Chains A and B, each alone.
Chain A
């Protein structure tokens, strides 16, 4: 009999927001803060329903929404509930919006055992924050960061965006310098995508020129690397030891459990997504039933393709024994000649060169079929 060690990564979705941002297409609930305590109670019920799947948790991630709209005391109670499930040294991350945090709250979260804070800054330029419907000012972002440091957070990440309509090359440089000034341990720096369902997409804004965005991206990567951050994933940078272990679990195609409205789980080759409606979620869990879910079964081919899709995002070589063979091995020589991939699958493994990482989709498209 094989003994499964159980799922080691738990994602908790906290959907409440004060407002929806222009670029956002996540599952969020605006203006229903009165239900936030009841929501945490329901979450605990869902966790208990899935208890048998859980092993010793290496990471716990509280994402949103705006998790810092939840009362710190109630977050502490959730963590206490999971205390015996969390492995020693577990990474516990919470996402925070600068305008929603204060010192007492940060102290409470730190004291409750949260080890890592991910601060959603997006930009330090006022005109861009306005464009993105962000409520915080650059000053609030700086204050929140310094406060988090002061109360004892030893791993703080900053979320930023590039490729924002109206963002000049100078804006990007100023953002990089402003971020570096704070000395974060980790940065997530995404290109803005016009997601279906977001206000920006509906407004049909014009994105900046492709070459300009490429320049911004390359500039950010170069500057952060010179400052000692490792470009360990397509959009993520970390000082040694500060990589986000929870995210790494996704990129290494590990199993994870997600609870809360709209949360996604992948366990033993099945991926399911909880329905997104808050009321339906409450009523299901009030009678101790799982929320409505949609599921897909990941067959061996899909898993192989996902491992390639995810694995090539990382800077470490892709272990072919783990990922499986590419659909088009004959393309490897051409890609190597073009300086986009290195390694042969033996020893050094197979990895993208720096140039290859910037065009990883195209490389992936040559290697894998995705039908």
Chain B
């Protein structure tokens, strides 16, 4: 059997702002091409994880092959490579793009261009992808396809009338989309006879089959039974199976140039076949690996501690398992004076952190305490050494610090004109530095460089609430910058609680300290004694609140019939206390650690 003619292959992805209908469109395409039967169709087939379904976002990139007989009578192989739709995962977007020659750029007919539309469109243009603009949701009463089609055509070039107008929900215009893919997305142009080279754009760990790699073959052929080699790691393996997703796994004999599919490696360690690496045939290797991706860099860190110390081994095991499928999750053991043994974990962003925390609690049945998220600081000490500080606890004493630099992101925010003031106000409060502003469509694009540390503390929620949901955000890292940062400590009953420490800007430290002690006063229950709560900067107390001592704690009545009930009531109360962390003599509920996170309008 000869390889499939590359001129009949189209590799494409769908890029869109969150909620603009990417997953629905993907489902429609699968359905229209008969890749899945109507009755087997669940909503949003591509989003396989429960959490993805609940949150309506796509986390892992996947590739589905669909056969399509076009108007020209030829049978095409369309490979739809899914992309994540959240700003935390722009890294994964870029690697999906690298496996494609074209992209459907989907814009909501009511909302128009949003921040991630722009960000993803720029990524695709940089990657030399052919963009097929689509205005979706034309069935909505508030739809204004003409206006948004004009704006999209200005963004990607071309004429407004060439922008497709569809409703993925009703199915209207889907055929035109498929034809446009065939017509406008260029076929792959690899060398079928050259030594094999395939780009790994995703890999997952399957507990029965080991590491499964998803790859786009650029040159040559990868066949079942061949010994393959990952060019960067040098690891070789016997390829147990090759195939494609339809969307279920469908084994075939080989994947030829231009094709996309999966390979079962039999390997146990996801690190052996890294995303971005190039697969080649061991016996006749390619000369150069393909251009890969940057390693995903964790941006946000927090300590995760089991509420019950006995669950430490289970937490470790759960993290190990999650890491199998998530190369971007990093973690190392951490010991907190207040919280005991746990792990400092690194995430791509806040959403990534929340999703993983939820999975740990839900899928592994763990009760966890998460400390305030923070970023990685580049510290230079007075001895000239450079330190990477991922936890406030590791910050050297002030007199040993020469300088601290913190990561900044460039936030691109799209917002209606009348809300520009609110957005700029928020960015200023969060120590943002103004970069540019320009009008796009009927809106303003506001660009600020903001310290990531300020973004991780509910920046996105605040942006949404202050603009009634009209602002959209995308961001990219722009490197470290020096800032006058200090460590803010919290003391309970006189003792510092390391898990509540934060690194904050000197000018904001006082206000943040005041707010924190106030929050803690509201969450820490009364004890038999007064509990002073203090905020300190470099040993100097800057704010203080007091949880008053209990003045009454009795069971009113206790007679014959009540004795067992009262005893059981005390037993229940004691159990309730187990969900608190004993910090010195003070019992701290989990909400206290979380309340530190919440910076609302009062923050």
Contact = CB atoms under 8 A, between A and B. Distances in A.
B561 interface: yes
Interface string B520-560: 00000011110000000000000000001011111111111
A122 to B, nearest CB: 13
Given A334-B585, A371-B574, A310 B558 contact: yes
B528 A363 contact: yes
Interface of B: 526-529, 548, 550-561, 563-564, 566-567, 570-571, 573-574, 577, 585
Contact of B566 (A190, A309, A369, A371): A309
B127 to A, nearest CB: 59
B560 A264 contact: yes
B557 A365 contact: no
Nearest to A363: B528
Interface stretch (A77-85, A139-147, A165-173, A208-216): A208-216
A364 B554 CA distance: 10
A266 B560 contact: yes
The secondary structure that dominates the B interface is loop
**Max count, chain A CB within 10 A of own CB: residue among B550, B552, B558, B559:** B552
A365 B570 contact: yes
A256 interface: yes
Interface of A: 11, 190-193, 210-211, 213-215, 217-218, 234-235, 247, 250-251, 256, 258, 262-266, 271, 273, 296, 302, 305-306, 309-310, 313, 334-335, 338, 340, 357-366, 369-371
A369 B573 CA distance: 11
A256 B554 contact: no
Contacts of A313: 558
Nearest to A247: B559
Contacts, number: 104
Contacts of A366: 528
Contacts of A305: 567
A244 to B, nearest CB: 10
A214 B554 CA distance: 10
A247 B554 CA distance: 17
A340 B550 CA distance: 12
Given A365-B574, A370-B571, A371-B574, A234 B554 contact: yes
Given A234-B558, A365-B577, A340 B528 contact: yes
Contacts of B557: 190, 193, 235
A264 B561 contact: yes
Contacts of B574: 365, 369-371
Given A358-B553, A362-B553, 7 more contacts: A191-B554, A218-B552, A250-B558, A263-B561, A310-B563, A338-B528, A360-B553
A220 to B, nearest CB: 11
A358 B550 CA distance: 9
Contacts of A364: 570
A361 B570 contact: yes
B112 to A, nearest CB: 47
Given A190-B556, A218-B551, A340-B528, A250 B571 contact: no
